[in-house]
Amino acid sequence: MSDPPSVLERFNRWFVAPLELLKTLPDGDGAFIALSIGCSLCERYYREKTNTQDLYRNKSFLSEAVLDLNIVEEPNKTFEIFWDIYRNGMQHQGTPKTTPKYKWRISNRYKSTPEFKDEDNFIVILLNPWGFADLMVEKFLSNPDTLANALQHTFGDIFPSDISYISEEKQRSFPPCQETNKQRPSPLQSLPCIPATGVPPTD
């Protein structure tokens, strides 16, 4: 029996490879899912850095992100406000929030970290969702030890999958790894294209 995939290999399979697939969708339609990935990884990374993984009311991880990402804050233009508009909006109801004071706007023309723009009577928070997600992915790829330091949120195990419920025609439609992941260096090159995540065998 082969060794189980490492935490880094699982990270690549569950986050990096799907993110690359999202980039192949027409008209940037994968941007919201990429943004959600970016927000999740951002919180995971900076909570690990501040040892607040299970201290859910502790917001010191936001200050760590500000320092690490070189974000210049001003009154009413802070990373915590960005976090409320983008992260809380995305993770609770699938889209960033609009409030009487703040609006959001995403585009691949913007920076990978949030910017604030005064516009009419609003403050618009600009973000490149693809760049933000890639930035968070690179944080983990550059510091893979952070993946193994989880407390409650450890990565699950991978068990052999029964894909017999997927028609042969559907299986043939899965894109080849070498094409899907050609923009990424290894370890993606060896990833299987057919889903391999499952539940423990019951027999």
Give domain status of residue 160, yes or no.
Answer: no
- Kindly report the number of other CB atoms within 10 A of residue 124's CB atom: 14
Residue 158: per-residue pLDDT: 63
Residue 83: per-residue pLDDT: 94
Give domain status of residue 176, yes or no.
Answer: yes
Give domain status of residue 121, yes or no.
Answer: yes
Residue 78: per-residue pLDDT: 96
Positions of the chain with pLDDT under 50: 177-203
Residue 148: per-residue pLDDT: 77
Residue 190: per-residue pLDDT: 38
Range of the domain at 121: 7-155+169-180
Residue 81: per-residue pLDDT: 96
Give domain status of residue 49, yes or no.
Answer: yes
3: alpha, beta or left? (left if phi > 0; alpha if psi -120 to 50): beta
The rounded distance, in Å, linking the Cα atoms of 3 and 12 is: 16
Give domain status of residue 200, yes or no.
Answer: no
Domain count for the chain, please give it. Answer: 1
Give domain status of residue 193, yes or no.
Answer: no
Give domain status of residue 2, yes or no.
Answer: no
Strand order in the sheet with 122-127: 102-106, 122-127, 115-119
| Model-wide pTM > 0.85 | no
Residue 184: per-residue pLDDT: 41
Give domain status of residue 41, yes or no.
Answer: yes
| Range 143-146 contact pairs with CB under 8 angstroms and sequence separation of 24 or more | 144/7, 144/8, 144/11, 146/45, 146/48, 146/49
Residue 166: per-residue pLDDT: 67
